[in-house]
């Protein structure tokens, strides 16, 4: 089981028996955090759960996603090595615990200029999900909730001498995804709309959809501009996995679209889900992204796409 699938399994288990209690209080030992410079003043921290982006500058530190709760001390130590300025902003790409678990610790370790804990900014559906996960009873602790939300298609802030753009992509990985673009550093933070370690996790219980996922990948392609030879230029931090550029996102987008098209054809021919699985519509990608164990399994991905395409009502449209 990969690290990513273990994390997603933890999220699923938490959802089944009480989101807050399991994900935020019972945790494995803290991980070691690896830091890599991505572009401009933006760094990627790996090992805390989901990938974390850190932007540093004279005004302070901005953090995108905060990893699992138990890894917050290690994350704070890693950030300290990059900057001794205070954390001023925390942004969340979506609500899953491996991306928001450290919200409280990082927010309280930082401060706004008025001395209050650092702002936590996310799409409003992140707050909706954390405050009352649909059909799952309990909410996450209030200290983990965003303190500031947006409900429009876009939101922007200006920090450390650069524009930081947040783009909401409806019903993609979840219903509250933000793709975040550091315009001067030329770095996109994708959250779990793009990962390099597995097939995409379409969290249908929390508003995700296959077409929204594809739209999100196309949005990243639109934001990214490659340098010479279709290499480098804009860099992309995935929710899980390695630093990428447009060419890498392109191959992933092609893969997801091709699998969507194959299953759509099978749905059109009225194949059952068992027949679809038997036809192996993901065969050419399984040795790279497939898994038979953990949370993001090949079968689970096929089922999610099949379910979505069999009932397209209310799903995002093809762009």
Give the pair of three-digit tokens for residue 173.
């990985």
Q: What are phi and psi of 49, to 5 degrees?
A: 135, -110
Number of residues that bind other proteins (CB under 8 A): 44
Binding test (CB under 8 A) with other proteins, winner from 199, 285, 295, 301: 285
Rounded distance between C-alpha atoms, residue 289 and residue 206, angstroms: 23
Binding test (CB under 8 A) with other proteins, winner from 283, 293, 299, 311: 283
221 binds other proteins (CB under 8 A): yes
Q: Could you give the angle at which helices 210-223 and 298-310 cross, rounded to 10 degrees?
A: 100
Site for other proteins in 237-266 (CB under 8 A): 241-248, 250-251, 253-254, 257-258, 261-262, 265
What would the x/- binding string for other proteins be over residues 29 to 48, using CB under 8 A?
A: -----x-x-------x-x--
148 binds other proteins (CB under 8 A): no
- Using CB under 8 A, which of the segments 15-23, 25-33, 55-63, 277-285 binds other proteins? 277-285
215 binds other proteins (CB under 8 A): yes
Helix (H) or strand (E) holding 76: helix 72-82
CA 11 from centroid of its chain's CA atoms = 13
Neighbours of 202 (CB within 10 A): 27
The SS3 of residue 46 is: strand
User: Given the complex with other proteins, which of 153 and 286 has the nearer CB atom?
Assistant: 286
Rounded distance between C-alpha atoms, residue 219 and residue 173, angstroms: 13
Beta bridge partners of 91: 64, 121
Contact positions toward other proteins, by CB under 8 A?
Answer: 34, 36, 44, 46, 196, 214-215, 218, 221-222, 226, 228-232, 235, 241-248, 250-251, 253-254, 257-258, 261-262, 265, 279, 281, 283-288, 318-319
């Amino acid at each position: 089981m990969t690290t990513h699938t273990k994390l997603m399994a933890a999220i699923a288990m938490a959802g089944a028996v009480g989101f807050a209690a399991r994900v935020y209080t019972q945790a494995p030992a803290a991980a070691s955090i690896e830091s890599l410079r991505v572009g401009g003043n933006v760094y990627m921290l790996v090992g805390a759960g989901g990938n974390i982006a850190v932007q540093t500058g004279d005004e302070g530190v901005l953090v995108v996603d905060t990893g699992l709760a138990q890894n917050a001390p290690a994350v704070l130590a890693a950030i300290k090595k990059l900057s001794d300025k205070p954390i001023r902003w925390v942004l969340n790409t979506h609500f899953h615990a491996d991306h928001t678990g450290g919200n409280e610790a990082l927010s309280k370790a930082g401060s706004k200029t008025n001395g209050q804990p650092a702002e936590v900014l996310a799409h409003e559906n992140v707050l909706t999900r954390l405050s009352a996960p649909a059909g799952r009873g309990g909410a996450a602790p209030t200290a983990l909730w965003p303190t500031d939300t947006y409900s429009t298609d876009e939101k922007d802030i200006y920090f450390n001498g650069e524009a930081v753009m947040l783009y909401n992509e409806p019903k993609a990985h979840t219903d509250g995804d933000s793709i975040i673009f550091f315009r001067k550093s030329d770095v996109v933070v994708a959250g779990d709309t793009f990962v390099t370690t597995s097939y995409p996790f379409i969290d249908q219980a929390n508003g995700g959809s296959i077409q929204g996922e594809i739209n999100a990948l196309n949005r990243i392609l639109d934001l990214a501009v490659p340098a010479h030879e279709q290499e480098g230029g804009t860099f992309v931090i995935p929710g899980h996995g390695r630093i990428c550029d447009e060419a890498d996102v392109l191959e992933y987008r092609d893969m997801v679209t091709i699998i969507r098209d194959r299953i759509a054809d099978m749905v059109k021919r009225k194949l059952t889900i068992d027949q679809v699985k038997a036809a192996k519509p993901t065969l050419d990608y399984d040795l790279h992204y497939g898994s038979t164990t953990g949370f993001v399994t090949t079968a689970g991905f096929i089922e999610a796409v099949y379910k979505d395409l069999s009932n397209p009502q209310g799903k995002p449209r093809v762009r």
